[in-house]
Structure 1
Amino acid sequence: MRYMMTYDLMETMRNTNQWLGATASAMASYPQFSMIPNPAFNWMAAWGEVTERTFQRMVVKPDWGIRTFTCEDGKDHLVDVTSVLERPFGDLVHFRVNGRKEQPRKVLLVAPMSGHYATLLRSTVKSLLVNCEVYVTDWHNARDIPVSEGKFDVEDYTLYLVDFMKELGPDTHVVAVCQPAPLTLAATAYLAETDPKAQPSTLTLIGGPVDPDATPTEVTDFGRRVTMGQLEETMIQRVGFKYKGVGRMVYPGLLQLASFMSMNAERHGKAFTDQIQRVMRGEASDHDAHNRFYDEYLAVMDMTAEFYLSTVERVFKNREIARNEFIVDGHKVDIGKITDVAVKTVEGANDDISAPGQCIAALDLCTGLPDSKKASHVEPGAGHYGIFAGRSWRDNIRPLVIDFMNENSRKPRRRAANSNKVA
């Protein structure tokens, strides 16, 4: 019960700060105060506006915001985000561009489950929509999933990916970003043994900790500095009474956000101070650079306790995937069984979260794959975010990934006669 009280205490503090911001903004905006030449009222209104928005965003799932897409005909076509498979802990969604012929490349973008929503990959999705049919793993917030739905750990995550790959078929190109890279590699190997015909055409792993010990960073080395007992005692709480998942053991998003912010407290503090000044001067807008970034950055989700703890223990501490000792549903996965899926790794030279060396380790594990089906790329000057969403991704990495897909494409599954599939 004490864990539930702690969870509710965090939510109470968040809610109180949101209320304080709204109250300050409303009070300082009374027309009569405009007659008093005191900048304190302008500052108070600006502080309230920024504070209310900041704490409100922490419990809001961001919208994809991809409503239209300009096609080759020069017209804007509506984009529908439709669910292909719906599961308790995550859905497989498709970004369908209405009125456009089906594109020759089918891409499954595996989003990380590391405290933020899949919408963190919004710009990645937009860049791939140009000439791909894009599917994304849309993971759910654990606080909204009833306890009756059961557990969800790294093995369940892997089996979800297996089902998603089976649904899309062997002509799929899988792109895993950051945290899911090792588990996506394991899912592909699982398919190689249990259902070879369902394997994807290509697998691109971007900035993921396949072998965290290859080049340790402060983030990936965290599991070495604490015991599992310490993690469970200090990081795990029960969802409070406000949400559908009441009683579920989780690693709260608000707790992880506090950790994120503390790592760069000075930079974040300056960003919010500058934003308050911009609001005071009337230079801020609803979609300015600050709000675009922090609306996404502050929107956090809870992870199930078993997923968080098993990730730390099995991927980082025991290095089960790096040692090719990973077990899924009682089956020992052998990554060396991957013989027909082209694998490419992408790393950023300045990545301080998953440093160069951690992701390319996947190629050494693919002992059954010929060198002709292996590729790697290290992007000079790129940090973690830049290798999948920044200029480095758009200008350099994305074209390389598309070329890799084209070189290793499989024929699509046969469609009905009335299909609009193009060759």
Structure 2
Amino acid sequence: MRFMASYDLMETMRNTQQWMGASAHSFASYPAFALVSNPMLTMMSAWGEVTERAFKRMVVKPDWGIHSVPCEDGRDHLVSVEPVITRPFGDLIHFRVQDRAEKARKVLLVAPMSGHYATLLRSTVVSLLPDCEVYITDWHNARDIPVSEGKFDIEDYTLYLVDFMKELGPEINVIAVCQPAPLTLAATAYLAEIFPESQPSTLTLIGGPIDPDATPTEVTDFGNRVSMGQLESSMIQRVGMNHKGIGRKVYPGLLQLSSFISMNADRHAKAFNEQIFKVARGEASDQDQHNRFYDEYLAVMDMTAEFYLSTVERIFKNSEIASNTFTINGHQVDIGKITDVAVKTVEGEKDDISAPGQCVAALALLTGLDDSKKANHLEPGAGHYGIFAGSSWRNNIRPLVLEFIDQNAGKKTNTKAKLAAVT
């Protein structure tokens, strides 16, 4: 009960802040007060509006908000989000562009499960939709998953990816963003060995901690500074009374959000202070830059405790991917088994989460892959967010990734023929 009480206490604090903001905004906006020119009431209303919006967004899953996409015929075609595979802990969804012939390029975006929803990649999806059939992993909030559904650790996560890739077939081009890069590499190696006919056509790893020790950062080195016991006692809580997952052990999104914000507390404080003054001056809008960013940034989800703890222990502490010793249900996955899938890594020069060197380490592990099928790109001046969703992605990285896909799609060796020849 102690852990459940802590979870509910955090929710109570969030709910209280949202109520205080709403109350301040309502009180200061009372029509009769307009008869008296009082700047303090204006500031109080602005503070309340910004505060209510911020704390309300913390428990709301953002909508994809992708309604249409311009196509080659000069028309905007409607976009529908359709499930392909539905599972307890995550779905595979497809952004179907209505009344458009299916695109030759099929892309699977593997979204992070690191505290934010898959909608964090909304702009990435939008940038790819005109040229590709886009699929994405849509991970679920652990607080909404009943305990009866069982555990979900990094091995389960990897097997989900295996099933998703098998469903989409060998013509799929996989792009893994940040946290899932190591496990996507492992899933591809697992397919190469167990289900070679289902290997993807290409694999692009963007800003992922394949080898966290290659260039340690404050984020990737965190696991080495605390023991697993300390981590479990300080970070893990049980879902509270108001959710379907009551009693499930999780790493709460609200707790992780506090860590995100503390890393750049001054910058966030300045952003919110400036927004309050903008609202007071009547210069803010519902979809201005501040609101668009923080509506997504503040929307957080819980991770299962076993996923969070096994990620820290096995990916960061024990470096199982970097040392090629990762196992799934007792079976050791050999990354060297990847021989047909072209692999590209992308890093940002100023990435302070997965610094340059961590992701490109994947290429050294691909001992069975010809050098002609390996590629890497270091984006000058780009931070972590910019390499998959900012101007660096749109203007420089996206064209390179699509070019890499076009150069290598359809050029895989006929695996079945190879196996037949060997036997």
TM class by smaller structure: over 0.9
Distance 2:390 2:351 in 1: 13
Distance 2:410 2:144 in 1: 39
Amino acid at match of 2:210: V
Alignment partner, residue 7 of structure 1: 7
Per-residue displacement from partner, 1:184-236 (whole Å, max 9, x unpaired)?
00000000110000000000000000000000011000001000000000000
Alignment partner, residue 390 of structure 1: 390
Distance 1:237 1:209 in 2: 26
Q: Tell me how large the CA RMSD over aligned residues is.
A: 0.9
- Displacement of 1:410 in angstroms is 2.1
Q: 5 Å matches for 1:250-261? A: 250-261=250-261
Alignment partner, residue 18 of structure 1: 18
Alignment partner, residue 41 of structure 2: 41
Residues 189 and 337 of structure 1 are in contact (CA less than 8 Å); yes or no, is this contact kept in structure 2? yes
Distance 1:134 1:336 in 2: 28
1:118 paired with 2:123, answer: no
- Displacement of 1:411 in angstroms is 8.0
Distance 1:134 1:26 in 2: 43
1:55 paired with 2:55, answer: yes
Distance 2:370 2:227 in 1: 39
1:409 paired with 2:404, answer: no
Distance 1:128 1:404 in 2: 14
Distance 1:139 1:168 in 2: 18
Distance 1:340 1:397 in 2: 23
1:210 paired with 2:210, answer: yes
Amino acid at match of 1:65: G
1:64 paired with 2:64, answer: yes
Residues 171 and 411 of structure 1 are in contact (CA less than 8 Å); yes or no, is this contact kept in structure 2? no
Amino acid at match of 1:8: D
Distance 1:303 1:280 in 2: 37
Distance 1:387 1:268 in 2: 21
Which structure 2 segments of 5+ residues have no match?
413-423
1:381 paired with 2:381, answer: yes
SS in 1 for 2:230: helix
Distance 1:255 1:97 in 2: 37
Residues 170 and 410 of structure 1 are in contact (CA less than 8 Å); yes or no, is this contact kept in structure 2? no
- Displacement of 1:146 in angstroms is 0.3
Amino acid at match of 1:171: E
Q: 5 Å matches for 1:12-411? A: 12-410=12-410
Distance 1:267 1:312 in 2: 27
TM-score by length of 2: 0.97
Distance 1:38 1:406 in 2: 62
SS in 1 for 2:173: strand
- Displacement of 1:343 in angstroms is 0.4
Distance 1:145 1:205 in 2: 29
Per-residue displacement from partner, 1:71-96 (whole Å, max 9, x unpaired)?
11111111000000000000000000
Which structure 1 segments of 5+ residues have no match?
413-423
Amino acid at match of 2:329: D
Amino acid at match of 1:199: Q
Distance 1:180 1:204 in 2: 11
Residues 257 and 298 of structure 1 are in contact (CA less than 8 Å); yes or no, is this contact kept in structure 2? yes
Amino acid at match of 2:30: Y
Distance 2:75 2:172 in 1: 28
Which segments of structure 1 move beyond 6 Å, counting only runs of 4 or more?
A: none
Distance 1:31 1:193 in 2: 70
Alignment partner, residue 417 of structure 1: none
TM-score by length of 1: 0.97
SS in 2 for 1:389: coil
Distance 2:126 2:233 in 1: 40
Distance 2:272 2:378 in 1: 33
Q: Count matched residues.
A: 412
Distance 1:99 1:49 in 2: 41
Residues 144 and 245 of structure 1 are in contact (CA less than 8 Å); yes or no, is this contact kept in structure 2? yes
- Displacement of 1:2 in angstroms is 0.3
Amino acid at match of 1:217: T
SS in 2 for 1:59: coil
Amino acid at match of 2:246: V
Deviates more, 1:352-361 or 1:34-43: 34-43
Amino acid at match of 2:408: N
Distance 1:33 1:165 in 2: 60
Distance 1:131 1:267 in 2: 36
Per-residue displacement from partner, 1:144-198 (whole Å, max 9, x unpaired)?
0000000000000000000000000000000000000000000000001100000
